[in-house]
Amino acid sequence: MDTNYNEIGIKAFQEKRYEEAAQAFTQAIESQPNDAIGYVNFGTLLAAMGDIERSERFFQKAITVDETAATAYYGLANLYYEAERYTEAAKLYQKSIDFGIEGADAYYMLAKSFEREQHFKLALPYMQRAAELAPKDLQIRLAYGILLCTMEMFDFAKPELEFVIEEDWNNADAHYNLGVLYAVSTTYTEKAKYHLKQAYTLQPEFEQAKYLYDMICQRSN
């Protein structure tokens, strides 16, 4: 029976035994040089170790070996996103989706890449798709709510932010954004104040929440 070096490497990687993981992935590549997965795994390991240049080379090699290797595009996209190369990251996240990567994360990261470039309309359908695929993921639901607020689609944003607060009462960002929503799109000043106060009570360093709360109080006096 052939030894599955990739499985051995992944187990070692998960247990933070990085040298053993590197050895296993090297053996995986040597035994199957035309299989992209060994290069992807090594690239992922190198990224986790902070060796970004070599990580990039391994992901690119995986794509050279198999131009449909969805996880290679995704790994490379993550490197570019972290390097604030958002336009390139977006193209690669799109390719990872085109080549069959599953789950909400790729849609979420594609949306975030567009968002970082201020392309909110482009981001919206991908963030919506991410929320559909992972309805219990509070990070995604919050990001979707905030994006809807940015686009002044307040009626759609409100239930997203309320859902996050229902599931995680201590989420200061959700309280803050719901407070801002009430302040700018409704006449419910007390609700705005309530959620802004919750935000800076939960997170005392949340100066923007305190500032807006004080401003609303002064306006309503």
pLDDT tens for residues 31-56?
999 999 999 999 999 999 999 999 99
Dist CA 143 CA 145 (whole Å): 5
Mean pLDDT of 193-210: 96
CB atoms within 10 A of CB 43: 28
Distance in angstroms (rounded) separating the CA atoms of residues 136 and 16: 29
Give the pair of three-digit tokens for residue 154: 């307040």
Quickly list DSSP for 123-164.
Answer: HHHHHHHHHHH-TT-HHHHHHHHHHHHHTT-HHHHHHHHHHH
Q: Which pLDDT value is given to residue 219? A: 86
Q: What is the pTM of this model?
A: 0.91
pLDDT of residue 124: 98
Using only C-alpha atoms, the chain has a radius of gyration, in whole angstroms, of 22
Listed residue (181, 173, 166) closest to 136, CA to CA = 166
Q: Given a cut of 90, is residue 2 above it in pLDDT?
A: no
Q: Set out the domains of the chain in order of their start, with CATH numbers.
A: 138-221 (1.25.40.10)
